[in-house]
Amino acid sequence: MTQEIVVILDFGGQYTQLVARRVRELNVDCEILPSTVTLKQVQSLSPRALILSSGAGSVFTQNTTLNDSRFDQLGLPMLEIGDGMELMAKDTDLLKDFLFNTVGLTGNWTMDAFVANTIQQIRTTVGPSQQVVCGLSGGVDSSVAAVLVHRAIGDRLTCLFVDHGLLRKDEAEQVMETFTRRFKMKVIKIDAADEFLTKLAGVTDPEQKRKIIGTEFIRVFEREAAKLGQIDFLVQGTLYTDVIESKTATGAVIKSHHNVGGLPEDLSFKLIEPLKHLFKDEVRRVGTELQIPEDLVWRHPFPGPGLAIRVLGEVTREKLEILRLADAIMIEEIKKAELYREIWQAFAILPDIRSVGVMNDQRTYAYTIGLRAVISHDGMTADWYRFPPEVLATIANRITNEVPHVNRVVYDVTAKPPSTIEWE
Ligand code: XMP
């Protein structure tokens, strides 16, 4: 099967990534390159066509001179897209017509083709006696990356799952259950809760918490990886957005959150990054193709420092326990109401405040739980989610009835900006 690839030239278009996703949804592979790229670099990909993405409001939309004559020399079919918003709606006819009629592509970039090719590539990269390690977090990206590599090389992959004691209710058990029982993968769970919580004792500053957790995570990971003997490769769940942000003209705008809780780039392993060509929604499609449980494939993003940045102020076991119970109730009710997939992230927060309440005619003085749920495309901006009121009411009722030491529940109705999604 010949691989059909289209190059999207980014002239600073605000919607370049969206254009790329629309192209791939039509089962055509594409690569985004900055408009400053050399002709040679474009040719090295052997593209079948070029799409020039300028975006609304750019200088090019006024005089239609975007058709940079430099690229004419390549003699490839070209399509200019001035305003990607058209594509945001339903209007992919323009693209379809160009790709399938003008260029004559077949649309053979499917998820099963991607999985088959990637497995083949991993087998070629990793020699028969080489060993691979993967840091499993239970998130979508690392899970899909690990399962792909496992499909390719089986037990030559060892996964390390660091339980820092800051995970959600039953999360560690679910991760182990999925990967060891269902996928029969070699996963080593490291119970490092004591180490992390000792280091966090007395710390209240959010950035200091992040720093401690980040440093500790790397220390524990390196120590445990060293116990495995000779390791040649490290699997990373890097996505396409991480790769292109340093290359495109729009890089600054789409820069994702610093990934605290990740691994540094200077570890002494070579990297395997099986998802570095994919957008998040494509990773989910690959996950489904690999029969990873839906719950995991559609899981909301969860920050590396975990619940430590949702327990405001000092992190203690007691507070973590309260937060875990409240959070689990919130998520359970959201799933019951079938709203989970509409929401980018939903979670509970435990602010460091107590207030007065009344229960069984007795005055109480107990914690407040904050609820946060947002819709977003990429986490860079977000709006608060408009819950049906009865769902909020059920969550609040259940939390105050079932979670000890809580007598009040509030819902966060701020957008990002000016707020952030997390409270710390
Ligand atoms: P904020 O709170 O900055 O969050 O609006 C944007 C997205 O990033 C996640 N987040 C983090 N992820 N380490 C991570 O791996 C972190 O320290 C961290 N802080 C925030 C957050 O959950 C949201 O998805």
Are 208 and 281 in the same domain?
yes
Query: Which protein residue's CA is at the shortest distance from atom 11 of ligand 1?
Result: 303
Structure tokens at 234: 């490290």
The DSSP symbol for 337 reads T
pTM of whole model > 0.85? yes
Are 188 and 270 in the same domain?
yes
What distance in angstroms lies between residue 260's CA and the mean position of ligand 1's atoms? 8
Are 237 and 137 in the same domain?
yes
Q: Which helix (H) or strand (E) holds 41?
A: helix 39-43
**Model pLDDT, residue 3:** 81
* Residue 364: strand pairing partners: 357
DSSP assignment of 225-260, as one string? HHTT----EEE----HHHHHTTTSTTHHHHPPPP-T
Pocket of ligand 1 (CB under 6 A): 210, 257, 259-261, 301, 303-305, 345, 379, 416, 420-422
Are 164 and 270 in the same domain?
yes
**Model pLDDT, residue 87:** 58
Domain with 85 in it: what CATH number? 3.40.50.880
Domain with 381 in it: what CATH number? 3.30.300.10
Q: Residue 221: inside a domain, yes or no?
A: yes
> What SS3 class is residue 76?
coil
Give, in order, the Cα–Cα distances in Å from 289 to each of 274, 282, 285, 293. 15, 10, 6, 10
Query: Which protein residue's CA is at the shortest distance from atom 21 of ligand 1?
Result: 303
Are 176 and 270 in the same domain?
yes
Cα gap 379→420, rounded to integer Å: 9
Least confident segment among 66-75, 167-176, 268-277, 350-359: 66-75
Domain with 191 in it: what CATH number? 3.40.50.620
Q: Is the confidence at residue 66, as pLDDT, over 90?
A: no
Question: If you compute the radius of gyration of the chain from its CA atoms, what whole number of angstroms results?
Answer: 24
> What SS3 class is residue 20?
helix
Averaged pLDDT of the chain: 90
> Within 257-413, where are the H helices?
280-289, 294-297, 317-336, 389-402
What distance in angstroms lies between residue 303's CA and the mean position of ligand 1's atoms? 5
Q: Residue 304: inside a domain, yes or no?
A: no
Are 123 and 186 in the same domain?
yes
Q: Residue 238: inside a domain, yes or no?
A: yes
Q: Is the dihedral of CA 389, 313, 296, 326 positive or negative?
A: negative
Give, in order, the Cα–Cα distances in Å from 127 to each of 121, 145, 233, 270. 11, 18, 10, 13
Nearest to 257 by CA among 379, 349, 167, 417: 379
Least confident segment among 67-81, 160-174, 208-222, 409-423: 67-81
Are 19 and 167 in the same domain?
no
Are 361 and 286 in the same domain?
no
Structure tokens at 231: 């390791």
Task: Among 266, 297, 328, give the residue marking a domain's end.
Answer: 297
Cα–Cα–Cα angle for 107, 110, 111, rounded to 5 degrees = 165
Burial label, 421 (beta-carbon count in 10 A; 0-12, 13-18, 19+): buried
Query: Which protein residue's CA is at the shortest distance from atom 7 of ligand 1?
Result: 379
Query: Which protein residue's CA is at the shortest distance from atom 20 of ligand 1?
Result: 303
Q: Residue 209: inside a domain, yes or no?
A: yes
The 10 Å Cβ neighbour count of residue 386 is: 10
**Model pLDDT, residue 59:** 39
> Domain of 200?
111-297
Domain count, the chain: 3
Q: Residue 205: inside a domain, yes or no?
A: yes
Q: Residue 308: inside a domain, yes or no?
A: no
Cα–Cα–Cα angle for 139, 127, 279, rounded to 5 degrees = 30
Are 55 and 119 in the same domain?
no
Q: Residue 416: inside a domain, yes or no?
A: no
29-53 in b/e form (b: 16+ CB < 10 A) is bbbbbbbebeeeebeebebbbbbbb
Are 36 and 147 in the same domain?
no
- Answer yes or no: are the C-beta atoms of 265 and 218 closer than 8 Å: no
Using 50, 70 and 90 to split pLDDT, how confident is the model at 85?
low
Structure tokens at 259: 């990934």
The DSSP symbol for 350 reads B
Nearest to 235 by CA among 262, 260, 270: 270
Cα gap 283→292, rounded to integer Å: 11
99 contacts: CB under 8 Å, gap ≥ 6: 6, 23, 26, 28, 49, 105, 107
Structure tokens at 109: 């970039």
Least confident segment among 41-50, 57-66, 239-248: 57-66
Task: Among 297, 329, 361, give the residue marking a domain's end.
Answer: 297
What distance in angstroms lies between residue 223's CA and the mean position of ligand 1's atoms? 26
Are 329 and 197 in the same domain?
no
Nearest to 286 by CA among 83, 148, 89, 180: 148
Are 346 and 289 in the same domain?
no
Q: Is the confidence at residue 395, as pLDDT, over 60?
A: yes
Q: Is the confidence at residue 251, as pLDDT, over 60?
A: no
Q: Residue 311: inside a domain, yes or no?
A: no
**Tens-place pLDDT, residues 90-122:** 567 888 999 999 999 999 999 999 999 999 999
**Model pLDDT, residue 258:** 45
Task: Among 76, 102, 128, give the residue marking a domain's end.
Answer: 102
Length of the chain: 424
Given the structure tokens 């790329």, which residue do they identify? 20
What distance in angstroms lies between residue 91's CA and the mean position of ligand 1's atoms? 33
Probe target for ligand 1 pocket from 422, 423, 424, with the most ligand atoms within 8 Å of CB:
422
